Chain A
Amino acid sequence: MSAIIEVSGVAKTFRQPKRLPGMGGALRSLFSRQFTEVRAVQDVSFTIAPGEAVGYLGPNGAGKSTMIKMMTGILVPSAGTLSVLGREPHAHRMTNAAEIGVVFGQRSQLWWDLPVRDSFDLHRHIYEVPEARFAENLAFLTSMLGMADYLDRPVRQLSLGQRMRAEIAMALLHDPKILFLDEPTIGLDVVAKDAVRKFLARINRERGTTIILTTHDLQDIEEICPRLIMVDDGKLLFDGELPRLRSALGSRRRLRLEFGTDPGPINLTTARLVTDDGAAKHFLLDSEDTSILDVLTELGNGYDLKDVTLEEPAIEEVIRTFYQSKPQLAATTP
Chain B
Amino acid sequence: MKARAYAAFTVNALQTRLTYRHTIWAGAFGDLVFIFARIAIWVSVYGAAGAASAANGVTLPEMITYSLLAGPLLYWDYSRLLADVGTAIRSGDVAVYLLKPLHYPAYLAASHLGHFLFELAASTVPVAVIILLVFGLQPPASLFHGLAFLAYWPLSFMILFTLATLLGLAAFWLMTVQSLDWFFNAIMTLLSGGMVPLWFFPGWLAAIAGHLPFAWISYYPAAVYLGKLEPGQTLLYFGIGLVWLAVLLASLAWLWSRARDRLIVQGG
| Bound Cα distance A104, B265 (Å) | 19
In the complex formed, the residue of B with least CB distance to A89 is B264
Knowing A75-B264, A114-B16, say if A102 contacts B99 (CB, 8 Å).
yes
Cβ of A86 to closest chain B Cβ, rounded Å: 17
In the complex formed, the residue of A with least CB distance to B16 is A113
B125 at interface, CB cutoff 8 A: no
> Given known contacts A72-B99, A93-B101, A98-B101, what 7 new A-B pairs fall within 8 Å (CB)?
A14-B267, A95-B101, A97-B98, A102-B99, A121-B8, A125-B4, A126-B100
| Bound Cα distance A93, B96 (Å) | 12
Q: Digit string of A83-116 for contact with B (CB within 8 Å is 1, else 0)?
A: 0000000100111011000101001110101100
User: Residues of B contacting A94 with CB < 8 Å?
Assistant: 101
**Contact B2 A126, beta carbon cutoff 8 Å:** yes
User: Residues of A contacting B2 with CB < 8 Å?
Assistant: 125-126, 128
**Contact B101 A76, beta carbon cutoff 8 Å:** no
A118 at interface, CB cutoff 8 A: yes
| Bound Cα distance A126, B263 (Å) | 22
User: Residues of A contacting B98 with CB < 8 Å?
Assistant: 73-74, 93, 97
Cβ of A169 to closest chain B Cβ, rounded Å: 16
User: Residues of A contacting B167 with CB < 8 Å?
Assistant: none
User: Residues of B contacting A16 with CB < 8 Å?
Assistant: 266
**Contact A109 B96, beta carbon cutoff 8 Å:** yes
User: Residues of A contacting B9 with CB < 8 Å?
Assistant: 122
User: Residues of B contacting A66 with CB < 8 Å?
Assistant: 267
Cβ of B4 to closest chain A Cβ, rounded Å: 5
User: Residues of A contacting B101 with CB < 8 Å?
Assistant: 93-95, 97-98, 126-127
User: Residues of A contacting B92 with CB < 8 Å?
Assistant: 107
Knowing A15-B266, A75-B267, A128-B5, say if A109 contacts B12 (CB, 8 Å).
no
User: Residues of B contacting A125 with CB < 8 Å?
Assistant: 2, 4-5, 7-8
Q: Could you tell me the dominant secondary structure of chain B's interface residues?
A: helix
User: Residues of B contacting A113 with CB < 8 Å?
Assistant: 16, 19-20
Q: Pick the contact of B264 from A15, A74, A104, A108 — CB < 8 Å?
A: A74
**Contact A107 B12, beta carbon cutoff 8 Å:** no
User: Residues of A contacting B99 with CB < 8 Å?
Assistant: 72-74, 97, 102, 109
B77 at interface, CB cutoff 8 A: no
Q: Digit string of B99-131 for contact with A (CB within 8 Å is 1, else 0)?
A: 111100000000000000000000000000000
B95 at interface, CB cutoff 8 A: yes
Most buried by A among B4, B99, B101: B99
Q: List 27 A-B contacts (CB under 8 A).
A: A14-B266, A16-B266, A69-B95, A73-B264, A74-B264, A75-B264, A75-B265, A76-B264, A94-B101, A97-B102, A107-B92, A107-B96, A108-B96, A109-B99, A109-B100, A111-B12, A113-B16, A113-B19, A113-B20, A114-B12, A122-B12, A125-B2, A125-B4, A125-B5, A125-B8, A126-B2, A126-B5
| Bound Cα distance A69, B98 (Å) | 11
**What size tier do the contact residues of chain A reach?**
20 to 34
User: Residues of A contacting B8 with CB < 8 Å?
Assistant: 121-122, 125
User: Residues of B contacting A69 with CB < 8 Å?
Assistant: 95, 267
Q: Total interface residues on B, using CB and 8 Å?
A: 25
User: Residues of A contacting B12 with CB < 8 Å?
Assistant: 111, 114, 118, 122
Closest 4 CB pairs of A and B: A125-B5, A97-B101, A125-B8, A98-B101
| Bound Cα distance A268, B93 (Å) | 62
B178 at interface, CB cutoff 8 A: no
B15 at interface, CB cutoff 8 A: yes
User: Residues of B contacting A126 with CB < 8 Å?
Assistant: 2, 5, 100-102
Cβ of A266 to closest chain B Cβ, rounded Å: 60
**Contact B100 A97, beta carbon cutoff 8 Å:** yes
In the complex formed, the residue of A with least CB distance to B2 is A128
| Bound Cα distance A324, B19 (Å) | 54
In the complex formed, the residue of A with least CB distance to B8 is A125
| Bound Cα distance A97, B98 (Å) | 8
| Bound Cα distance A81, B54 (Å) | 72
**Contact B5 A74, beta carbon cutoff 8 Å:** no
**Contact B100 A74, beta carbon cutoff 8 Å:** no
Cβ of A105 to closest chain B Cβ, rounded Å: 13
| Bound Cα distance A38, B182 (Å) | 37
Cβ of A182 to closest chain B Cβ, rounded Å: 11
| Bound Cα distance A288, B11 (Å) | 62
User: Residues of A contacting B265 with CB < 8 Å?
Assistant: 75-76
| Bound Cα distance A137, B265 (Å) | 35
Cβ of A131 to closest chain B Cβ, rounded Å: 11
User: Residues of A contacting B100 with CB < 8 Å?
Assistant: 97, 109, 126-127
Cβ of A170 to closest chain B Cβ, rounded Å: 11
Cβ of B168 to closest chain A Cβ, rounded Å: 19
